[in-house]
Amino acid sequence: AQSVTQLDSHVSVSEGTPVLLRCNYSSSYSPSLFWYVQHPNKGLQLLLKYTSAATLVKGINGFEAEFKKSETSFHLTKPSAHMSDAAEYFCVVSDQRSSASKIIFGSGTRLSIRP
Amino acid sequence: SQTIHQWPATLVQPVGSPLSLECTVEGTSNPNLYWYRQAAGRGLQLLFYSVGIGQISSEVPQNLSASRPQDRQFILSSKKLLLSDSGFYLCAWTSGTGGFGGYTFGSGTRLTVV
Tell me how crowded residue B73 is: count the other CB atoms within 10 A of its CB: 14
pLDDT at B43: 72
Q: Which amino acid is at B43?
A: G
How much is the pLDDT for A72?
93
d(CA A113, CA A115): 6
Taking only the tens of pLDDT, chain A with its 115 residues reads: 678 899 999 999 999 999 999 999 987 777 888 999 988 767 788 899 887 778 899 999 999 999 999 999 999 999 999 999 999 999 988 765 555 556 778 889 999 999 9
Phi/psi of residue A61, nearest 5 degrees: 60, 25
pLDDT digits (tens, 9 = 90+) for A80-106: 999 999 999 999 887 655 555 567 788
Suggest the residue from B5, B21, B88, B105 to mutate for an interface test with chain A (most A CBs closer than 10 A): B105
Q: Do B99 and A98 touch (CB under 8 A)?
A: yes
In 3D space, the residue among A102, A62, A88 whose CA is nearest the CA of residue B103 turns out to be A102
Residues B77-100 pLDDT 10s? 999 999 999 998 999 988 755 445
A46 and B102 in contact by Cβ < 8 A? yes
Q: What is the mean pLDDT of chain B?
A: 87
